[in-house]
Structure 1
Amino acid sequence: MGRTTVGVHHVQAALGGALRLGIDTVPLLQCAGISPLLLGDELARVPPEQFARLVRALHRATRDEFLGLGAAPSRPGTFAMMCHACVGCRDLGAALERAVRFYGLFPHGPDLALDRLAGAGPAGEAVFAVRGDLWGLAEGRFLAECVLIVWHRLASWLIGHRIPLRWARFDCPAPPYAGEYGAMFGCPVTFGAGRGFGAAAGFDARWLAAPPVRDEAALAELLRSAPAGLLSRREYGTTVAEQVRRDLARALRAGRPARLPGVAQLAARLAVSPATLRRRLAAEGTSYRRLRDQVRREAAVSSLAEGREPIAELAERLGFSEDTAFHRAFRRWTGTTPGAYRLHGQQS
């Protein structure tokens, strides 16, 4: 999400609308290369490319850009027209305000808001919110997550820089997989905040003055895979956790066996002390060990899904001294063995 893999709980949530509409989801999973058997394993994960293919298949099957998860369908092409309305704006703030007004034209569209708050830095803080009660549906949290993720990545794409988020909040209880949200949003995430938002994210208001750098041709290229592609596109690497994750992933690709840099090496590259690096990672809700495990896990899941690399060679490439150590780690990450995971993928 290395590429960040997607937990099976998100796969299950994405399927919820289609299931309510009576659509057979097994062919959609198979089209995406996801074994239906994985849905029974709560620790299973899938590569982001497979998840994006599933979302595109659900768009086609439901004829709804909200996958049947909203109060009313969002017709195909709605997102594209919103993007066309925003791409020529004078700055990001005007583009986001236009997006809010655009979706406000639809009686059952998402209730979006952009607020500018005083304090929290010289320029103040901007808050993008998905308001209203999305939690009436079992998949409401997933829909709010998708809206925030797509908004954040689209806004970052418009100005050519990843916008660092200061925080994200969801007005719902923390799910069992709450620990994943820090990596998803690159910032501290809280639940049950009770501030009147369905979901919201805050960032430095200075970004609102940034001019869009994309034109209609670039937008046409983006829209070939959006909005589904925005759920799996890479970030811009500006948070400390993303920089560490990027360096670890690069080390995995550089040699066999992998020699992953330690905290001291990573801190030197970032021109900070090891203690400062640990403190900054903690402020972003993560740690060196957690990021190292994530990078190894993503590489393992992606390789096993592709099905070509022998498991022993994969274990060596990831830097495990013994196959048994890799098997123990993979079971801890996913609840199953590498061989069983590969077998599930071959049965999709």
Structure 2
Amino acid sequence: MEQRKSSTHYVCILLRHAQSIGLDVQHILEETGISTELAETEDGWIDNVLLARLVKRMWLDTNNETFGLDPNPLRIGTWALACEFMLGADTLGALYRKGERILSFLAPNSAGLKILRENGSIVVLPQVYLGESDPDHFLIEFITVLWHRFASWAIDERIPLQKAFFSYPEPNHSNFYEELFSCDVRFEQSACGFKFHESYLKRRITRTPIELEAWLRDSPADLLYMPGREKSIQAQLKASLLEITKAEVARDAMRYPAFESLCSDLAMSPQVVRRRLADEGTSYQHIKDAIRCETAQVLLANPENSISDIAVRTGFSEPAAFSRAFKKWTGESPAQYRSSRLKKR
């Protein structure tokens, strides 16, 4: 598996800040497993797992999702709540609009989001603190990347950027900006943000609440790194099935169309789609099972939904068949899964 790395520049920034606000830097290094040598190297590389540990450690020690770099604190859990709200959107355009809306309520004046249209492009303008408390502009880099990565993750497709721009002078590590954004990067502009083609606003959201839990748990390991990725057959099929699932579950039943019909929508033969799915390490049945499992998990989280009703709504003819399938998928019976999740609340 490819080892994902980010610049140690970010480690140095966070540790300098930790020291400036009186945190025990040595203890942070011991807790995160980051060596002193890496912590003192501005132009090296660090495993993203270690960088994620450092970011989470700083969140914990400052009790602030902006690490205390912004004089106006952002409460822990704000981003997760915003993500949950945004993921309820059907399209990327709706996701960004929901992001504008919820941050206008949750975040301080120094944090937010603005979305503009400009000659066939969408301009994303993160509203982030820029001031003396953050001399290295860590927050604007971090948040700008976050708004691109989360959107790309939500549609399961890398969004190619046309341009990224920042209001401050070109920093010493400006070469890394090209790694982060893979596009033309400009400094000393009138605002900070990025732009991409407006056609991406119509992309369907393919991710589910269960996947969001895992993404939030693992982030920010991959926020400052993103390999190129094109739209996969798996992602296209999943987007279609998720749209169908929402409609079918709302009608208290789940019925998927024939595989051949979905292949026709993709303008491909069933043989080609099966081969492409195999190349991606999956199958149509696996995709269907994953969606049914995630749908069942969401329904089980509401104690008002009976297991019998959930069985029908996820396409099973009887509760016993649903229970066997669910245990195969998760290792727990539906009742055990519900009980364990309710205890965590």
TM class, shorter-length: 0.5 to 0.7
Q: Show the counterpart of 2:56.
A: 56
What is the match of residue 11 of structure 1? 11
- 1:130 maps to which of 116, 126, 131: 126
Q: Percent identity?
A: 29
Contact residue 123 and residue 194 of structure 2 kept, 8 A: yes
Provide the secondary structure at the position in 2 that maps to 1:174.
coil
Q: Is the 8 A contact 1:52 1:231 kept in 2?
A: no
Larger Rg: 2
SS for the counterpart of 1:30 is helix
**What is the CA RMSD across the aligned residues, in angstroms?**
2.2
Gaps of 5+ in 1: 119-123, 240-348
Structure 2 residue aligned with 1:26: 26
Question: Higher relative contact order at CA 8 Å, sep ≥6: structure 1 or structure 2?
Answer: 1
SS at match of 2:206: coil
Partner of 2:71: 71
The offset of 1:133, in angstroms, is 5.5
Aligned to 1:231: 223
| Contact persistence 1:18–1:68 (CA under 8 A) | no
- The one-letter code sitting in structure 2 at the alignment partner of 1:80 is A
Q: How does 1:1-348 map to 2 (within 5 A)?
A: 2-105=2-105, 106-118=107-119, 124-131=120-127, 134-139=130-135, 141-193=137-189, 195=190, 197=191, 199-226=192-219, 228-232=220-224, 234-238=226-230
Structure 2 portions without partners, runs of 5+:
232-345
- Paired with 1:60 and 1:113, the residues of 2 have a C-alpha distance of 28
**Which digits, 9 at most, give the CA deviation of each residue in 1:54-109, with x for residues without a partner?**
11111111111111112322111111110111111121111111112222223344
Distance 1:203 1:48, change over 3 A: same
User: How far apart, CA to CA, are the structure 2 residues paired with 1:175 and 1:4?
Assistant: 23
Q: How many residues align?
A: 229
Rounded to whole Å, the distance in 2 between the matches of 1:112 and 1:134 is 14
Preserved CA contact (<8 Å) 1:161 1:236: no
User: In structure 1, what is the equivalent of residue 334 of structure 2?
Assistant: none
Q: 1:45 to 1:149 in 2, by over 3 A?
A: same
Give the drift of 1:224.
1.6
Contact 2:5 2:46 in 1 (8 A): yes
Deviates more, 1:149-158 or 1:6-15: 6-15
Counterpart amino acid of residue 237 in structure 1: R
SS at match of 2:137: helix
Instruction: Determine the C-alpha separation between the residues in 1 that align with 2:19 and 2:177.
Output: 26
Is contact 2:97–2:115 with CA below 8 Å preserved after alignment?
yes
Instruction: Give the TM-score normalised by the residue count of structure 1.
Output: 0.61
Quick one: distance in 2 between partners of 1:187 and 1:3?
23
Describe the SS at the equivalent of 2:218: coil
Could you tell me how far apart the structure 1 residues matched to 2:70 and 2:40 are? 25
Question: What SS class does the counterpart of residue 100 from structure 1 fall into?
Answer: helix
**Would the alpha carbon gap of residues 129 and 80 (structure 1) be closer, same or farther in structure 2, given more than 3 Å must change?**
same
Counterpart secondary structure, 1:231? coil
Give the letter aligned to residue 217 of structure 2.
Answer: R
| Matched residue type, 1:208 | L
Q: Quote the offset at 1:7 in angstroms.
A: 2.5
Deviations 1:221-246 (A, max 9, x none): 212223x234256434359xxxxxxx
Local SS of the residue matching 2:139: helix
TM-score by length of 2: 0.61
